[in-house]
């Protein structure tokens, strides 16, 4: 797929899935905007073919997000965002019996409210542009739930609902909105699993393996390039949620 002359913003793109998605779009010719809650490291910036723009803010801070995008769209020569990938998110796992209201709220505020905070100013501009693509990173946990992740599951289920609503609102202006729901993807979290825990999870996955960050990035490119898909949630989980 060729995304030359298109500008792609990927939130939470300093590492992991977000960075893999950003690299995939860079390799496909797009102009990439990286984002992190802290400054993006030089080695990350230098890993791109085209030097990316960088943004730094907390997606959960609505006022800062609004001010950041107000300034961004005022920059001379900035033509707008063609593709937005809402990937920024956090976890604070705990059984419901021991989960504090603050931990529940923080995860929802970052994952769900943060997705809304970033989407709203970009969506408004896309309405005026009469084109755009938004990809929201959900999770298989938002579809099936998970022990110890009530806050995370609630936030990701909310993202799926937000995706469907945005898709209906944006369709007449040629704005497509889809979600990606990764399952168990190789990461620091999976690396920390005990052999027993790893085996138990793998036994639940029909393909009997964890996915890679590139598996998710490939789906992001597909959804960004397919002009007749909107309002969908594509699950990338090796068959876990069948």
The pLDDT assigned to 123 comes to 98
d(CA 146, CA 51): 39
Map out the domains of the chain with their CATH numbers: 7-235 (3.40.50.720)
pLDDT of residue 113: 98
Which one of 73, 152, 228, 241 is the catalytic residue?
152
Of 159 and 194, more confident? 159
Query: Mean pLDDT in the chain?
Result: 97
- Going by pLDDT thresholds of 50, 70 and 90, the confidence category of residue 12 is very high
Q: What is the pLDDT of residue 1?
A: 86
Q: Which two tokens stand for residue 124?
A: 């408004």
Per-residue pLDDT tens for 40-89?
Answer: 999 999 999 999 999 999 999 999 999 999 999 999 999 999 999 999 99
Report residue 159: phi and psi, to 5°.
-65, -35
Residue 187 pLDDT greater than 90, yes or no: no
Q: Which residues of 203-238 are buried (b: 16+ CB within 10 A; e: fewer)?
A: eebeeeebbebebbbebbbebbeeeebbbbbbbbbb
For the beta carbon of residue 157, count every other beta carbon within 10 angstroms.
Answer: 18
Give the pLDDT score at 189. Answer: 75
Q: Looking at residues 170-181, what average pLDDT do you find? A: 98
pLDDT higher than threshold 90 for residue 21: yes
In this structure, what token pair is assigned to residue 29?
């010719």
Active site residue 152: yes
Mind listing the pLDDT tens digit for each residue in 129-165? Answer: 999 999 999 999 999 999 999 999 999 999 999 999 9
The answer on pLDDT for 192 being more than 90 is no
Contact by Cβ (8 Å): 7, 84: no
107 within 8 A of 150, measured Cβ to Cβ = no
Lowest mean pLDDT among 100-114, 140-154, 181-195: 181-195
Q: What is the mean pLDDT of residues 32-37?
A: 98
pLDDT tops 80 at residue 93: yes
């Amino acid at each position: 797929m060729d995304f030359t002359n298109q500008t792609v913003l990927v939130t939470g793109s300093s590492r992991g899935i977000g960075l893999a998605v950003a690299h995939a779009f860079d390799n496909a010719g797009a102009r990439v905007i990286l984002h992190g809650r802290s400054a993006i490291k030089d080695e990350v910036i230098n890993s791109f073919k085209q030097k990316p723009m960088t943004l730094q803010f907390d997606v959960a801070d609505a006022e800062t997000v609004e001010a950041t995008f107000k300034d961004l769209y005022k920059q001379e020569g900035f033509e707008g965002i063609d593709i937005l990938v809402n990937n920024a998110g956090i976890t604070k796992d705990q059984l419901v019996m021991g989960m504090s209201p603050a931990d529940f709220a923080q995860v929802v505020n970052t994952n769900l409210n943060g997705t809304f905070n970033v989407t709203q100013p970009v969506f408004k501009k896309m309405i005026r542009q009469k084109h755009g693509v938004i990809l929201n990173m959900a999770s298989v946990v938002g579809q099936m739930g998970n022990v110890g992740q009530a806050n995370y599951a609630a936030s990701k289920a909310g993202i799926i609902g937000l995706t469907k609503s945005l898709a209906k609102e944006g369709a007449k202006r040629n704005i497509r909105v889809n979600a990606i729901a990764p399952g168990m993807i190789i990461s620091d979290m999976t690396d920390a699993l005990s052999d027993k825990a790893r085996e138990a999870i793998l036994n639940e996955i029909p393909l009997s393996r964890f996915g890679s960050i590139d598996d998710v990035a490939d789906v992001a490119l597909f959804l960004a390039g397919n002009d007749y898909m909107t309002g969908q949630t594509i699950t990338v989980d090796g068959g876990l949620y069948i």
